[in-house]
Structure 1
Amino acid sequence: MPDSPSPEPLAGPAAAANAPIGRNRQFRLLWVCMLVIGAGNSMLLSVAPPLVRQMHLADASVGWIFSLSALLWVFTSPYWGRLSQSLGRKPVIAFGLLAYAVSMASFGTGVTLGLNGVLSGSNLFITLVLARSIFGAFGSASSPSAQAYIADRTSAFERTAQLAGLSSAFAVGQAFSPGLCSWLAGQFGFVFPIWLVAGFALAASIAIISFLPERTAPQSSRQRASFADSLALITDRRLSGYLIYGFALSIVAGVTVQVFGLFTMDRLNVSGAHGTQFIAAGFMANALALLATQLIIIPRLSLSGRAFMLWGAALLAVGVALQVLAVNLEFLLVSQVIQGLGAGLARPGFTGGASVAVEPHEQGAAAGLVVAANGSGFVFSPIIGGVVYERLGMNWPLYITIALLAAMWVFVFVSRRLRSTPIEAPPETGTP
């Protein structure tokens, strides 16, 4: 039973209201659970390129394995965000983590069957696609509910920094899981890290149910927005500009992540475990830069989400351009650091800006749409990434990405839809 009858999402309990991430138990627990998802996804992206070649699948299958999951993510995230407003954030977060555990365990089973020759060709490919799709359809429940949980307990001016703090959990996972995965794969095989993440996800789901407090009452059914009302936010001028930017940013993320492993192996002429180590080094450099941006830079800058979106797109474009010019691992790592800085500014900028733009009772629906935008680009990135990579060459996906980033920068610069609310504001003192 909730401690307060109030349905107002921002009216959290006094002990939890406006509590900075890292200083309050529920935020720390939520952060750790999101870390598991970030670590698992980064690990899969690190091992996927060597694995598909080892299992004799086409290079483009790296992207296609994730594409159906991304499509399901787009359509289901708004639903889970809405559902969390009526059922409560905690049960929906826990359900998403449980689904993620099932997805990873199924994926590990498919890889095992493929490496042992039990499955091959199209049967293996379909198995991996379906296993990953469990995450897209049901694991997508965690992220919008977690974002809405934070929005329930922060003021408008604090929200971008707080959501950046939550995003840092994914960055930590992305930073350290590739290196750990490379070591574990060398010691115990490629499948062991996949099963390990499945176990951690199951433990995280149990921890959310057991220990995450949720005193804010869910909204009553008569206050809950309908599915049509939620989707109407897509064209709402308060939110649509952020969603357009988020969709484009997701395409950029999908292309750069899916291409980087293949690009590294081909540019440096490496493969197998050696290739995994180089790929892991690049992902770690990117994620550490992103983490430093979100934990150190953003909290110290009183800039608007719009400003972060501009700087983020610019830095990402520079980083991708440097990747095209890279001739050795060191150069590739520098390009990944700059891309990490750009992503660390761009994503919290549009996520926090979107949250600030809507009313408290719309937070769940808005968070679902934001999370959908975050995954929507991965539906199209296999075409821009894998297909273009195979048919036109390794640099062409990066050329397209640079052009898209330039268009994003221009859009943010000229758009009247985007608000310029700073991420922090001085507290009210009661004096003029």
Structure 2
Amino acid sequence: MPSSPLLTNPTLRALIALAVFTYTAQNMINVSIAPLSRALALPEWIVGGAVSLAAVAVTALSQFWGRRSIAWGRRRVLLTSLVLALIAGTVFSATVWARSAGALGVVAASAGIMLARGPFFGSAIAAIPPTGQALVAEVTQDQTSRVRGMSAFSGAINFSVMFGSLISSALGAVWIFAPVHATPWFIVIALVIALVWVPKDGHSRSPRNTQPTCAPGHSSSSMTVTGELPPRVSWLDRRLLPWIGGVFGMFFANGVVQILMGFIVQDRAHLDPSHAVSITGLMLLTNAAGAMLFQLLIVPKLAWEPRRLLRGGITLGTVAFAALAWAPTLPLVVLSTFLMGVASGLAVPGFSAGASLAVSPEEQGGVAGIMNATGSVTWIFAPVSAAALYGWNPLAPFALGLSLIAFSCTVAWAHPRLLRHATTS
């Protein structure tokens, strides 16, 4: 069985390292934002609105960044995105400080938080997953290695969620605002990694040469920048629609869990906001642990085809999400949340590998953007709708999420293209 590209490609290792610190920073904000909204006396819908605006930016720019990681080069794209993320994190931290000090009113603080965490931060981090996924596709050509590579990259992202949850829990236990103010420093670490370890991009004299510059599984010190954008991939491409439809509900359900967990632990365990930060972080840690365990350890050993991974994950996710909706105690919430993570650990690598294998090598930059945007497009609607519906009836957002994940489960099992397993290798 071929080894994971993570072990053989130094550029991918550097990209995963900077992704870990960047997504740790993002998750520190995600864990804190629900308790923060109450501690700062801001409307609850601000929580969903900020994340939804970020998702709009990610959806709009994922394919933009994915294609330009090939045309401009990975180093230029990553450095640009990390500088933007650093500015956004600093603005978010400053806004929280000013509001807590009484220097900003509700309207100004809400606007600052929504813009910094929303389109500003979202535009920045939109570059990282498609850049990494396009690199994985470049260094893998067969189905088994593609699944292993995509699973390793997704597992690293989930490790950052775990790490961010631990840091948020520890810092939040000391001071509720500490995770927010620590966020920019994690972006600084990611920026240093990009400056030092991501190779400088070369330039090709043959602008139409868009083929990989190194053999699968082997590393190259730098990529060849063509200067010409690779083909754009359509959302309505029939090769991709069954994979998108089969995972869409999972992403939506995860968005509901991520945003509502801060409220769930407060309401079901009767906790105040300051204590809820630590418990929320531990809950999201449990979710990420399930996903990371399967993506890094179990999926590579299973050696399942993408279709089987997608079906197994979405089926388990449907059951786990239904259980979470009714879980009356924290232990049952923990178990349901862990199983949601396991479900993602199966479904997401299946989706990523299946969609990547369905298109040509020249389309990998575009399809990497589509894959990243598929998750983010659900976050446009999931956070704001979940937060609003939860305020009306705590079971309402779960009913919406369950209907969508059940739809995806049906697509995964019944779509004609997945029945024929119409993918290319």
Q: CA 1:266/1:50 → structure 2, altered by over 3 Å: closer, same or farther?
A: same
User: Residues 33 and 420 (structure 1 numbering): CA distance in 2 closer, same or farther, change over 3 Å?
Assistant: farther
- The CA distance in 1 between the partners of 2:387 and 2:286, in whole Å, is 23
Deviation at 1:220, TM superposition (A): 4.5
**Distance of 2:361 and 2:8 partners within structure 1:** 24
8 A contact 1:50–1:276 mirrored in 2:
yes
Gaps of 5+ in 1: 1-16, 426-432
Q: Pick from 155, 172, 190 the counterpart of residue 185 of structure 1.
A: 172
Give the Å deviation of 1:169.
1.5
Give how far 1:190 is off. Answer: 3.3
* Structure 1 residue 416, shift from structure 2 partner: 2.5
Partner of 2:377: 376
CA distance in 1, matches of 2:9, 2:383: 40
How do 1:163-312 residues align onto structure 2 when only pairs under 5 Å count?
Answer: 163-187=150-174, 189-213=175-199, 214-221=221-228, 224-225=229-230, 230-231=232-233, 233-312=234-313
In structure 2, the partner of 1:339 is 340
Indicate the SS of the match to 1:249: helix
Match of 2:51 among 66, 84, 109: 66
Superposition deviation, residue 186 in structure 1:
3.0
Q: SS state of the match for residue 394, structure 2?
A: coil
Matched, 1:80 2:87: no
Write the letter of the residue equivalent to 2:16: W
1:1-60 Cα offsets, whole Å, 9 max, x none, are xxxxxxxxxxxxxxxx97631454333222211111321222212111110001111222
SS at match of 2:225: coil
| Aligned match of 2:208 | none
Matched, 1:161 2:168: no
User: d(CA) in 2 for partners of 1:195 and 1:383?
Assistant: 24
Q: Distance in 2 between matches of 1:202 and 1:176?
A: 16
Partner residue of 1:136?
Answer: 122
**CA separation of 1:19/1:387 partners in 2, compared to 1, >3 Å: closer, same or farther?**
closer
Aligned-partner Cα distance in 2 for 1:421–1:19: 25
For residues 34 and 268 of structure 1, what CA distance do their matches in structure 2 show?
Answer: 33
**Match of residue 100, structure 2, among 98, 115, 125:** 115
Q: TM-score, normalised by structure 1?
A: 0.87
Question: d(CA) in 1 for partners of 2:296 and 2:109?
Answer: 40
Q: Aligned in 2, Cα 1:403/1:99: closer, same or farther, shift over 3 Å?
A: same
Equivalent-residue separation in structure 1 for 2:223 and 2:151 (angstroms): 22
Contact conserved, 1:246 with 1:347, CA < 8 A, in 2?
yes
Across the two proteins, how many residue pairs are aligned to each other?
400
Contact 2:318 2:409 in 1 (8 A): no
Letter in 2 for 1:195: H
Structure 1: distance between partners of 2:138 and 2:226: 12
* CA distance, structure 2, for counterparts of residue 80 and residue 361 of structure 1: 15
> 1:309, CA displacement in angstroms?
1.3
Kindly indicate whether the alpha-carbon contact (under 8 Å) linking 1:353 and 1:421 is maintained by their aligned counterparts in 2: no
Q: Out of 287-296 and 271-280, give the one that drifted further.
A: 271-280
Deviation at 1:240, TM superposition (A): 2.3
- Give the match for residue 33 of structure 1: 18
Q: Do 1:36 and 1:197's aligned partners in 2 also have CA atoms closer than 8 Å?
A: no
1:414 paired residue number: 414
Q: CA deviation at 1:179?
A: 2.5
Aligned to 2:132: 146
Q: Which amino acid is the alignment partner of residue 366 of structure 2?
A: A
- Partners of 1:95 and 1:416 lie apart in 2 by 42
| Conserved 8 A contact 1:94-1:142 | no
Identity %: 25
Alpha-carbon distance, 1:97 to partner: 2.2
Which amino acid in structure 2 is aligned with residue 160 of structure 1? V
- Tell me which amino acid in the other structure corresponds to 1:81: G
SS at match of 2:41: coil
**Preserved CA contact (<8 Å) 2:247 2:310:** no
Does the aligned pair in 1 maintain the 2:292–2:345 contact within 8 Å?
Answer: yes
DSSP-derived class of the 2:232 partner: helix
Corresponding residue of 1:92: 77
Q: More displaced, 126-135 or 31-40?
A: 31-40
Give, in angstroms, the shift of residue 315 of structure 1.
Answer: 1.3
Residue 380 of structure 1, CA deviation: 0.7
In 2 relative to 1, CA 92–101 (structure 1 residues): closer, same or farther, beyond 3 Å? same
- Contact 1:268/1:328, CA 8 A, preserved across alignment: yes
CA deviations on 1:244-290 (whole Å, 9 max, x unpaired) are: 34443332221121112111211111122211122112111111111
CA deviations over 1:101-159 (Å, ceiling 9, x no partner): 22211111111111111112121111111111212223312221121122111123211
Q: Is the 8 A contact 2:358 2:423 kept in 1?
A: no
Q: Structure 2: any 5+ residue segments left out of the alignment?
A: 200-220
CA RMSD of the aligned region, Å? 2.2
In the superposition, relative to structure 1, how do residues 22 and 394 fare at CA in structure 2: closer, same or farther (>3 Å)? farther
